[in-house]
Amino acid sequence: MPRFSGADVLLSLTRKDFYQIAYIAEKGKDPQLRAEGVESFRARVARIRPDLADRVDEISSMDDLHLLDVKLNRIKPWHKPGLLLIGDAAHAMSPAGGVGINLAIQDAVAAAQRIARPLLQGTLGESDLASVQKRRWFPTVVIQNVQLVIQKAVFGPAVKGRLMGPPSPVVFVALHVPWFRKLPALMIAFGPRPEHAPDFARRKSAVTRKSV
């Protein structure tokens, strides 16, 4: 769930054994933030997340921070003879929703469904590669447009200090009901066209043989 304070925005992700935080800023603001120095940046983080104020010293210098220049685009086509692009190579995603890896995995599963057998049989043609793009183009466009809406409605105004904010009940539920925070990401992650591994790629149930 993003946290807002004026034009400062923090997005926090709880991993299994570590905490990942993204500070979201306007494009082109990175040099200004670095020029202000690490003390200023620590203060920004502490202001947005007072519960982390006793840990901001873990940011030892601005060199600990890495810029991710967010892009949202698609290449066309995804294929040439002997080449198939999937995942970020075919479509750059926004971090919104944290779904880029999910979409890439779904691309890979769709590719396995369509090109594994032709590869094994030595009959792979460009039409097989094109079928992967045809299958995955629609969900890619849908998810990217959802991310674009989030960017324009939430993060864009927020980094300019213009976000009015969602109704307070929504904020309360988002902060206190864990499954609600995961719902948007789950909905986007599975997408409008879920993929399933081909039968030949699935593990077969182990067969237990009784000793005679």
Range of the domain at 97: 73-197
Q: What is the pLDDT of residue 7?
A: 73
Which amino acid is it at 135?
R
- Per-residue CA distances from 77 to 60, 101, 102, 111, 125 (Å): 44, 20, 21, 15, 15
| Cis upstream peptide for 77 (omega within 30°) | yes
CATH of the domain at 176: 3.50.50.60
Q: Which residues share a beta bridge with 113?
A: none
On whether residue 106 sits in a domain, the answer given is: yes
Residues 89 and 174 in one domain: yes
The predicted model scores a pTM of 0.71
In a domain, 42, yes or no: yes
% residues pLDDT > 70 (the chain): 79
* 44 and 90 fall within a common domain: no
Q: Is 92 inside any structural domain?
A: yes
Question: Is 175 inside a domain boundary?
Answer: yes
pLDDT at 29 over 70: yes
Amino acid letter for position 41: F
Provide the domain count of the chain. 2
Note the pLDDT of residue 168: 52
The pLDDT confidence band at residue 147, using thresholds 50, 70 and 90, is: confident
Residue 42 and residue 117 in one domain: no
pLDDT attached to residue 79: 97
